Structure 1
Amino acid sequence: MAPFQTSVNINSEIGRDGQEVIEVQILPQDENWGENTTAVTGNTSEGSQSMEDVSNWPLESDTGLGFVCSRYFGTTVALGLSLVSFISPLAMVVLPKLGFFPGLSDNKAIQPSQIIQLLSCTAECKGILLSLAFKLVLLAIGIWAVFLRPRNSVLPRIFVFRAMMLVILAVCSFSYWLFYFVQINEATKALSVGEEAMDYTSLVSYVSSFGDTLIFIHYVGVILMEIRHLEPVYYIKIVRSPDGESRSYSIGQLSIQRAAVWVLQKYYTEFTIYNPYLEKIPISKSQRKAQASIKFYEVDSNTNTPTGQTRSTTGSATGSASRRRDSSTHNERYYEEAERERRVRKRRARLLSAAEDAFAHVRRVRLSAANGGALGPREAAQAVFPSLARALQKYLRATRQQPRHSADSVLAHLARCLSQDASPRAFLEPFLIEGPVLSAEQEARPIQRWSLISDELLARPLADNIEFQLRQGDISLICSIKQLPKFSLTEEVVDPKSNRF
């Protein structure tokens, strides 16, 4: 639903430069609330295609198998490897008790008394087992609190630190299992020849060291992936195109792709909603009169006027009109913006008065019907909505917010405010104050697709003078990185006597 409609008339006349003269008129919208504008667009860029050709391009669905795999494959691998590493110490402790090693239980050279003595758990062994149990419980809590969180982004490149920690975890688990089986086999051979073998207490100590190693790996992972980037190192400036709104933040040591995710989180929560209709303010009557006053002369006319004289007359007329138009462009823009601001303030005041009167009427009805028979929030909203609908519609049209607020959404918001006994200004807050991007209904999608453009590899860390760009449709976020300076502070002692007057 557009706040205004356009009508394009293409005349058959040809201008001075051999171009067609196109007149664009702004048609006033009717007073009906609703989507009643039909827009037919045609792409004119040589790098674009018409809407009929869009179906020829394969679009990846947000619920397709490829998207689901790219989103959950890395998490599934990390979760599976972490689960195997977490269960490994428990399996190493339990397997000898379950008789999982047939070479130890079926060997006739080993007496049953030797096996019982070998698998006996002393007081020291029980203490180590208790310590191992607490280590695993604390490790499980740490993994759940830090790493078992739903991923809110799908990155085009691997996360280097995460991949490195998974490789270290896999190598560590494989190494401990390898030496575990080696020790079991050596113990079996030693018992067969009557030599002293490793008992169960030594095996539990070995497993306890495995638990300590897992805790240290988790500690290093927390430092690299959760703490390292908290210290501000760079300054990032985000400029939104096409309206030019900008924000500046301090950011830590992140990779380019993770910095892009961080930028998008800031964009959806701190940038105001982009309104493309504000860039298409209708042309005023004075501007249309100025355009209508321009005269074009036909150079190739078959009149008796000399050719040279005709060319000079045409050149002077168009040149003076062009200079007059250029000199008045900034004045026209200034007065148009001032007139628009004045009209917005006027309609804002009318809207506030209408909302206060409507809410005051609801309070009077509520007090008069305190004994029973009062209307519900929905019925009360439907009763008072016509009294402020016209003022609200005019304000939304002046501020170009009409496409974002339908009559049903406004009515539901009014009913919610009446049920919560909110003030008139609380009801008008979504219309008077520009909210963040995420507050718009059009942006309430579970998955937001953006394109990341950078001259550097996306997995590389941020550096000074790096720029990257995020694109989604007509909106682009241009991000530039600058390194924060190093600060040197010196202590200066001031003589107290020098402060006397």
Structure 2
Amino acid sequence: MDTESTHSGYSSRSGRSNRHGERARERHKASSSKDSSRSEKSVIINPPETSSQDSPVHNGEPLPGEPMPAASDPGEEGQDDNWGETTTAVTGTSELSISQEEVVGLGKGIQDRTRSFRRYLPLAVGVCGGLLVLATPLVFLLLPVIVWPERLQPCGAACEGLFLSLSFKLLMLLTAIWALFLRPARASLPRVCACRAFLTTLTLLLTMSYWLFYGVRILDAQDEDYHGVVQFAVSLVDSQLFVHYLAVVLLELRHLRPCYSVCVIRSTDGETRHYNIGQLSIQNAALTILEYYYKDFPLHNPALLSASKHRAAKHLAGLKVYNVDAPGNTAGAQPANGNQSQAAAAAAKRKDSAHNELYYEEADFERRVRKRKARLVVAVEEAFTHVRRMKKEDERASPSDIMDVREAALAIFPSMARALQKYLRTTRRQHCHSMESIQKHLAFCLINNMSPKAFLETYLAPGPTLQYGPERWMADQWMLVSEASVTSGVKEGSEFTLRCLDFSLAVTVRGIPYIRVTEEYVDPKSHKFVLLLQSETSV
């Protein structure tokens, strides 16, 4: 009886636990469906591969925890208690998961810290190296005077001359370091310059070698010849000057000789320029090309690109596409009927008329531009004529009635504003010029007594990028994409890309060929000739 009661109690507990497990599973499924419908940014944690014993359904067997027709196994109770470990769990991003924005923000913060560290590390190393270079000769001279002054031999006239030479050399070295290294950086490069790293390492090795020799031969032995110590310090300054000369050759003179011709193509409008560069690394060549870009390339105008895309979309909208290989389409394999032949003829006609539409559209655009330009030129000339008339009247007026140049610019600007606005809208360059910049340019032209044509030149043709406000190009952050290492030098056939937010610059490197010039001697007597005159001629 006791055994039967025990078994019956266990089975009742097992059935109760199974029912609890089923209810918990149902509540979990309902909450999972609600959470998944409430938030799309959910993270699904799938369980690992389980055996056939732990799988929910296997060959028609019931789920673990469901009542068995026979006596239940005692191991099922443990399965019911640990069901959450092998069940799919759906959690909201607000509680247990990290959203994509947070991951991107975390990576951006780490990247910003790394970028600032890489930006200021070369500066810190350069400052420490410069202080070490300048302080080492002075320390060489002061240590014997401080440590063993009573044993030093007196310094004569030759030694005092070395003091003078050392002071002037240090002054020249300080000026040279300031001129070459202590300049504001033009840009932030992704990698450290190989030549600068080599020169810094060479300077540190030179200084450490002198310190090692000084410690072994002078400090340990406490050399009494102070004249020799001064000569040793002078030799160190001479070596540092030669290292600086090497730095001038590597950093400033090596790339002046043109060795390569680079072709730069803007990806959006195909604007192309060609430049000659010297022996540079890929990242330094990219920096040089970007400096040329802001000076030579016209401002990038996305409005013109959108106009061409609109025209292409308008043309493609009138075309019909037929899928002859579609299932159930038997008309494609049969001879064309009347409707198909009419559609094909209409498509061919539309294709033939596409170039005509483009021609007339461009002709109409050029006509409208010329019309707007003529109106703008007339309005500006009338405004400048009015200013000259006012200027002559001001010469006869009292000083209190004389108008300032900026006030005159504000007074005549409304007379040309409408014509200028229409012209800029027609040429799709209205976003490049603000009213404040136009008024400022007008005042500049009036102050310097410029002609109307000089004022209009800024607006009639697109200028380089630097001509416009910094808000047009200061936000450009360039990314250098290259298969080769950016610290390696450019060579024949090198290709890399400079990517910006709206476009990219594709750069191709070609070597300048070796030019062979020969000389051909021309005898001066070969230019002489004899004119024979006949008596019967009129001459």
Q: Confirm or deny: 8 A CA contact 1:294 1:318 kept in the other structure.
A: no
Residue by residue over 1:85-117, the C-alpha shift from the partner in whole angstroms, topping out at 9 and shown as x without a partner, is: 1121122112322x1x3xx36xxxxxx4xx2xx
Using the alignment, how far apart are the partners of 1:308 and 1:461 within structure 2?
60
Does the alignment pair 1:357 with 2:374?
A: no
CA gap of 1:165–1:403, structure 2 versus 1, over 3 A, is same
Using the alignment, how far apart are the partners of 2:431 and 2:101 within structure 1?
25
Does the alignment pair 1:94 with 2:142?
A: yes
TM superposition shift of 1:365:
2.0
Does the alignment pair 1:405 with 2:453?
A: no
- Which residue, 235, 255, 275 being the options, matches 1:229? 255
Using the alignment, how far apart are the partners of 1:284 and 1:458 within structure 2?
39
Q: Confirm or deny: 8 A CA contact 1:237 1:481 kept in the other structure.
A: yes
Q: Confirm or deny: 8 A CA contact 1:437 1:443 kept in the other structure.
A: no
Q: Following superposition of structure 1 onto structure 2, how do residues 468-487 of structure 1 map, counting pairs within 5 Å? A: 468-487=496-515
Residue by residue over 1:226-276, the C-alpha shift from the partner in whole angstroms, topping out at 9 and shown as x without a partner, is: 111111111111111111111111110101111000100000111111111
RCO (CA 8 Å, sep 6+): is it higher in 1 or 2?
A: 1
- Which residue, 292, 295, 307 being the options, matches 1:269? 295
Using the alignment, how far apart are the partners of 2:446 and 2:347 within structure 1?
57
Using the alignment, how far apart are the partners of 2:262 and 2:470 within structure 1?
27
TM superposition shift of 1:472:
0.1
CA gap of 1:339–1:205, structure 2 versus 1, over 3 A, is same
The aligned residue for residue 488 of structure 1 is 516
The aligned residue for residue 167 of structure 2 is 133
TM superposition shift of 1:409:
2.5
The aligned residue for residue 332 of structure 1 is 357
CA gap of 1:313–1:54, structure 2 versus 1, over 3 A, is farther
Residue by residue over 1:130-188, the C-alpha shift from the partner in whole angstroms, topping out at 9 and shown as x without a partner, is: 11111111111211112211111221122111101100100111111121122233433
Q: Secondary structure at the match of 1:187?
A: coil
CA gap of 1:67–1:376, structure 2 versus 1, over 3 A, is farther
Give the structure with higher Rg (CA).
2
Using the alignment, how far apart are the partners of 2:178 and 2:361 within structure 1?
58
TM superposition shift of 1:334:
2.3
TM-score under structure 1 length normalisation: 0.76
The aligned residue for residue 534 of structure 2 is none
Q: Looking at secondary structure, tell me which structure has more helix per residue.
A: 2
Residue by residue over 1:159-218, the C-alpha shift from the partner in whole angstroms, topping out at 9 and shown as x without a partner, is: 111101100100111111121122233433xxxxxxxx4410000011110011000100
Does the alignment pair 1:76 with 2:102?
A: no
TM superposition shift of 1:485:
1.0
Using the alignment, how far apart are the partners of 1:426 and 1:495 within structure 2?
53
Q: Secondary structure at the match of 1:389?
A: helix
The aligned residue for residue 160 of structure 1 is 194
The aligned residue for residue 40 of structure 1 is none
CA gap of 1:294–1:157, structure 2 versus 1, over 3 A, is closer
Percentage identity across paired residues of the two chains: 42
CA gap of 1:127–1:284, structure 2 versus 1, over 3 A, is closer
The aligned residue for residue 369 of structure 1 is 394
Using the alignment, how far apart are the partners of 1:177 and 1:55 within structure 2?
51
Using the alignment, how far apart are the partners of 1:255 and 1:224 within structure 2?
12
CA gap of 1:199–1:339, structure 2 versus 1, over 3 A, is same
Using the alignment, how far apart are the partners of 2:187 and 2:227 within structure 1?
46
Q: Secondary structure at the match of 2:124?
A: helix
The aligned residue for residue 12 of structure 2 is none
TM-score under structure 2 length normalisation: 0.71
Q: Which structure 2 segments of 5+ residues have no match?
A: 1-98, 325-330, 530-539
Q: Confirm or deny: 8 A CA contact 2:320 2:347 kept in the other structure.
A: no
Q: Secondary structure at the match of 2:118?
A: helix
Q: Confirm or deny: 8 A CA contact 2:465 2:473 kept in the other structure.
A: no
Q: Secondary structure at the match of 1:129?
A: helix
CA gap of 1:494–1:474, structure 2 versus 1, over 3 A, is same
Q: Following superposition of structure 1 onto structure 2, how do residues 22-421 of structure 1 map, counting pairs within 5 Å? A: 57-58=104-105, 65-97=113-145, 99=146, 101=147, 104=148, 112=150, 115=151, 118-188=152-222, 197-281=223-307, 312-370=337-395, 371=397, 372=399, 373-421=401-449
TM superposition shift of 1:80:
1.7
What is the aligned-residue RMSD (CA, Å)? 3.2
- Which residue, 483, 493, 501 being the options, matches 1:455? 483
Using the alignment, how far apart are the partners of 2:308 and 2:479 within structure 1?
32
- Which residue, 419, 422, 428 being the options, matches 2:450? 422
CA gap of 1:54–1:321, structure 2 versus 1, over 3 A, is farther
Q: Partner letter of residue 137 of structure 1? A: L
